[in-house]
A and B are shown apart, each in its own frame.
Chain A
Amino acid sequence: MSVIKTAGLTRHFGEVTALEGLTLELPRAGVIGLVGPNGSGKSTLIRMLLGLIAPTSGTAEVLDEPISAPGRYLDRVGALVENPAFVPGLSARTNLMSLARLRGLPASRVEEVLQVVDLIGRDAEPVKRFSLGMKQRLGIAAALLPDPELLILDEPTNGLDPSGIVEIRGLLADLARAGRTVIVSSHLLAEIETVCDFLVVIRFGHLIYCGPVTDLLTRARQRIEIAAEHARDTAALLALLAADGWQVEHTPEGRLSVAADEHQGADLNRCAARGGITLKSMTPVRGSLEEIFLEMTGTGDQDLTGARAAAAERKVS
């Protein structure tokens, strides 16, 4: 059972290709991360799933209904797209009430979602007085109004302080535990790593990865960082390990980073002992999602924006 299924989903904006032949299937329930550098096509995908823009070609289904008929599924979907948008002069409660009325929901639902995002007590204040974090919480409250099966949140922790981020993480986990599917778009990979079970990586409108986070993490380069008891032995240790065929690098902290998985620690220890060197520490290190992402995409955000700018410049000239 999939919550979202796309086949060859493509969207062009004039000569710019925002998404190209995206084919994926996302499982129901759990938290799904939608990751990609800025301009990768995440928002375009979300807008298409919400019926805000139409695909140039390809098909997609949300909750087993085609995106060409959003009326059949949007009453079961809640969404926060980009920055939360509200009427600034109206109170949080009135803003939510207007959305509840639009969806034909009772006023009691507004009370419930205000409690979920902890805005009771501030709900009578005009939204223009809200901090970005509070607006973000109000945006999530608006997304929760229809008690959705599927929740799509675009950068939900934007502007939140650390405690707010932890709160939102907890909220997302609670929603997923309650059987909902939560799709979280973000360019903060560390954030995604802690929250998501499943991951979709997009770059330049192309699908780079679609699968469980754990599968992706196993692709990470595993290393063991070791340190000799006496710093003067580090060079000799490096020579010993290199002679045995280990790939070794110096770390900025003065230790040695050996390409090895955690089960090979004993081999490293024996190699050091053979040279009369005692190891002071041995720490297995697994590559982060960020490192894996950069390896997969071959670039960071800055490189990406630079490439886009260069392409635009070529087009103009």
Chain B
Amino acid sequence: MINAVRSELLRTRRKGVILGWFGLTILFTIMINMVMAQVVGSSETPPDGGPGVTFPTLGQWQAADGITAGLSSAASMYGVVALSFWAIVTAGDYSSGLIRLTASAQPDRVRLLLGKVGALTLWTAAVATVALVVNLGVAPAAARSADLDVSAWGQDALPTLAGAWFNLFVTLFVWGVIGLVLALVTRSAAISISVGVGYVLVVEAVITAALDTIADWTPGATLSALAHGGTSSIPYGTALALGALYTLLGLSVALTVFKRRDITD
């Protein structure tokens, strides 16, 4: 299993992945903090967000854990990027034909897939770390540019930062697993990303509007709650449990599909 992870880490260590995934994460972190400073700073009520973005109130942003509000606000955007890269790396093996080489080099497909999951999990942890570090640099500058008092940000720094990192990492991981499942089922990065993004931006909104009773169960709402450390409608514990459920379900589907389907590409 360790061999499979090390092998996959080597294969995913390429410019497209590093520059693309890390670059977008850095870009989103800078953007969300800058925009948040402008729109949150001018209102006491939570301003309207947008697809995949939710803003805190001014009070929430100025609180001790407000320094990491940018990460939770843009968690769905980071999530879509994570979904995309997990899907690209997974489906890319089929479109390039690399899967023929790797599956004949490691016939234990469970081990092969868990190796990929392991490597992508490490990359996801690295991305979450980069997002946190960049956020720590950008958020104070953004607050200063909007003349906001953020003197509370230094309090309980370690638990605040550790909690924010963990929540972001778990959120990205679950998004990634969704990307993995979609890529294994469709064997196409483009289709996986379209389905994933389409779901977040359109399908889930329609479902929750039509069926209010399941609004607190959907993946998008669950992962958003997870990133925020829980919401009024989905407590943190519930969000964690649902996230774990989605992950187990996703990995089970992924392993079944990967193990049973022919490799004909």
Contacts and interface: CB of A to CB of B under 8 A. Distances in A.
Given A87-B11, A102-B4, A54 B107 contact: no
A184 interface: no
B116 to A, nearest CB: 11
Nearest to B262: A53
Contacts of B7: 98-99, 101-102
B100 A53 contact: no
A94 B10 contact: yes
A103 interface: yes
B38 interface: no
A87 B14 contact: yes
A182 interface: no
B264 A47 contact: yes
Interface residues of A, number: 33
Contacts of B98: 85-87
B104 A77 contact: yes
Interface in B1-47: 3-4, 6-8, 10-11, 13-16
Interface string A114-156: 0000000000000000000000000000100110000000000
Contact of B107 (A74, A104, A142): A74
Contact of B97 (A54, A83, A89): A83
B60 interface: no
A85 B103 contact: no
A21 interface: no
A99 B97 CA distance: 14
A102 B101 CA distance: 10
A199 B115 CA distance: 39
A76 to B, nearest CB: 12
Contacts, number: 88
A54 to B, nearest CB: 7
B100 A103 contact: no
A54 B105 contact: no
B218 to A, nearest CB: 35
B263 interface: yes
Interface string A64-107: 00000011001001010111011111100011011101111000
B247 interface: no
A47 B11 contact: no
B264 A85 contact: no
Interface in B132-190: none
Nearest to B95: A85
B3 A52 contact: no
Contact of B11 (A77, A83, A90): A90
Contacts of B112: 102
Contacts of B252: none
Contacts of A146: 105
A197 B7 CA distance: 37
A83 B107 CA distance: 20
Interface of B is mostly: helix
Interface residues of B, number: 28
Contacts of B256: none
Contacts of A97: 10
A146 to B, nearest CB: 8
A51 B264 CA distance: 11
A50 interface: yes
B100 A85 contact: yes
Contact of A52 (B4, B10, B96, B263): B263
B208 interface: no
A71 B104 CA distance: 9
Contacts of B100: 47, 50, 52, 81-82, 85
B1 to A, nearest CB: 11
B3 A101 contact: yes
B14 A102 contact: no
Given A99-B101, A101-B6, A89 B14 contact: yes
B48 interface: no
A152 B3 CA distance: 24
B15 A89 contact: yes
B105 to A, nearest CB: 5
B238 interface: no
Among B13, B14, B15, B107, find the residue whose CB has the most chain A CB atoms closer than 10 A.
Answer: B107
B10 A74 contact: no
A51 B103 contact: yes
Interface string B76-118: 0000000000000000000011101111111110001001000
Nearest to B12: A87
29 contacts: A47-B100, A47-B263, A51-B103, A51-B104, A52-B104, A53-B263, A53-B264, A71-B107, A81-B101, A83-B97, A85-B96, A85-B98, A87-B96, A87-B98, A89-B15, A89-B16, A90-B11, A90-B13, A90-B14, A94-B10, A95-B11, A98-B10, A101-B6, A101-B10, A102-B4, A102-B115, A103-B106, A142-B101, A145-B105
Interface of A: 13, 47, 50-54, 70-71, 74, 77, 79, 81-83, 85-90, 94-95, 97-99, 101-104, 142, 145-146
Given A70-B104, A74-B107, 8 more contacts: A50-B103, A51-B103, A52-B104, A94-B13, A101-B7, A102-B115, A103-B105, A103-B106
